[in-house]
Amino acid sequence: MRDLAGLDGLLARAGWSERPLAVLDLDAVDANADDLLRRAGGTPVRIASKSLRVRGLLDRLLARPGIAGILAFTLPEALWLVAHGARDVLVAYPTAERGALRRLAASPEALDAITLMVDETAQLDLILDATADLPPRTGGRRIRVALELDVSYAPLPGIRFGALRSPVRTAGQAVDLARAALARPRLQLVGLMAYEGHIAGVTDAAPTPYGAAVRAMKRLSRPEIAARRAEVVAAVRALAPLEFVNAGGTGSLESSAAEEAVTEVAAGSGLIGPGLFDRYRGFSPQPALWLGTSVVRRPAPGVATALGGGWIASGPPGTDRLPTIAHPPGLAFAPQEAAGEVQTPVIGPAAEDLRVGDTVWLRHAKAGEPAEHFSHYLPVQGEQVLDPMPTYRGEGLTFL
């Protein structure tokens, strides 16, 4: 792991004194990519772009053998990525963007590269309605769609673990939706996705009764998912030759990739190693993204205040959504201000030693969200500081 005590000096020698500054450690990203590929055991890994939101980083990763395609989060994002050369983009969430659908339907390159996600006939109808006045098949191509299957765990009525995503749970429901897609001549059914977020995205290493309960839930859920996914995939394959079956995320690569029905796995967060991914049993990504803020005032003994902050992760509010203070050691957030807004006071023994101009290094709890706060990431590799990489926002784009 990078020596944060030396990071300020390295940046200063390269002429980078501005703060806040987001430093991307490419050595850590590369090591994390190696580990994701190892854990996937030969199953291709599709990169979840929402966990990166930096085109230069996506390109770097897509150049690696074993990494195949992008899992995008919106159709406008997918269209933009294709305009910049992406060739295989699965949009992980349904879209109701009529303008973007029209742009897709009118572009042979986009029709070749992009697959939309659907889980009910209303979405199929909306796609057709939005594009009704366009030629039925631009360049002879149809609009590619994939079905999303819900693989949340519902062991008893009223008890459910997993994100509220697709209403399609059974082979019968999947077959009905597949038939509905196949009946619409503008559409082509090419794949299936089933994301087990309650396994991939829930930390499980806590040595507490809660941690034990999460581990038990995951143990019980995995075989149920494998059986249902296999049954649904077989039923849909009987109707249409699927190009791919996508599954999993950073926290479930081994179990997702082990299923015969799964042809590719998705991952993104594990490349960055944000705070929420510190507490998994089976793997430990290296932290790759450091957010530097500078101390600008010392309002009281034992307190130093940095300019910047407020970098709270999305999801149910809780202390696990706060950034982690990575360096110097021995600092904590002030309880009444937490990670701050425009400024962030830090307290603790080390705060006494901080001086105006010193850097406090933070890590975000989530992988992709810092890219919405920084126009560029500054990549470092070994002792080299490379040219800044623009984030999506730095390229002038915010998709959500």
Ligand X SMILES: Cc1ncc(COP(=O)(O)O)c(C=O)c1O
Which residues form the interface with ligand X (CB under 6 A)?
Answer: 48, 51, 71, 92, 195, 200-201, 249-250, 266-270, 367
Q: Do 15 and 387 contact (CB within 8 A), yes or no?
A: no
3-state SS assignment for residue 35: helix
- Provide, rounded to whole angstroms, the least separation between the CB of residue 51 and ligand X: 4
3-state SS assignment for residue 289: strand
Measured from the CB atom, is 21 or 72 closer to ligand X? 72
- Provide, rounded to whole angstroms, the least separation between the CB of residue 352 and ligand X: 38
DSSP code for 134 = S
Largest CA distance in the chain: 71
- Relative to beta strand 45-48, strand 21-25 is unpaired
Rg (alpha carbons) of the chain, rounded to whole number: 23
Measured from the CB atom, is 253 or 295 closer to ligand X? 253
- Provide, rounded to whole angstroms, the least separation between the CB of residue 353 and ligand X: 36
- Provide, rounded to whole angstroms, the least separation between the CB of residue 17 and ligand X: 32
- Provide, rounded to whole angstroms, the least separation between the CB of residue 268 and ligand X: 3
3-state SS assignment for residue 116: strand
Tell me how crowded residue 8 is: count the other CB atoms within 10 A of its CB.
19
Measured from the CB atom, is 244 or 333 closer to ligand X? 244
C-alpha to C-alpha distance for 188 and 184, rounded to whole angstroms: 8
Residue with the CB atom nearest ligand X in the bound state: 249
- Provide, rounded to whole angstroms, the least separation between the CB of residue 223 and ligand X: 20
Measured from the CB atom, is 191 or 340 closer to ligand X? 191
Q: Give the distance from CA 329 to its chain's centroid.
A: 28
- Provide, rounded to whole angstroms, the least separation between the CB of residue 365 and ligand X: 12
Measured from the CB atom, is 58 or 351 closer to ligand X? 58
C-alpha to C-alpha distance for 68 and 83, rounded to whole angstroms: 18
- Provide, rounded to whole angstroms, the least separation between the CB of residue 71 and ligand X: 6
3-state SS assignment for residue 145: strand
C-alpha to C-alpha distance for 236 and 238, rounded to whole angstroms: 5
DSSP code for 364 = -
Measured from the CB atom, is 74 or 269 closer to ligand X? 269
Return the C-alpha torsion angle 50, 51, 54, 58, nearest 10.
Answer: -100
Nearest to 55 by CA among 400, 362, 376: 376
Tell me how crowded residue 232 is: count the other CB atoms within 10 A of its CB.
26
C-alpha to C-alpha distance for 183 and 177, rounded to whole angstroms: 10
Measured from the CB atom, is 161 or 333 closer to ligand X? 161
Q: Tokens 């765990």 map to which residue?
A: 153
- Provide, rounded to whole angstroms, the least separation between the CB of residue 91 and ligand X: 10
**Alpha carbon of 383 to those of 11, 287, 389: distances in Å?**
9, 17, 17
The structure tokens listed for 288 are 């790759």
- Provide, rounded to whole angstroms, the least separation between the CB of residue 143 and ligand X: 20
If residue 344 lies in a helix (H) or strand (E), which one and from where to where? strand 343-347
DSSP code for 286 = P
Measured from the CB atom, is 48 or 350 closer to ligand X? 48
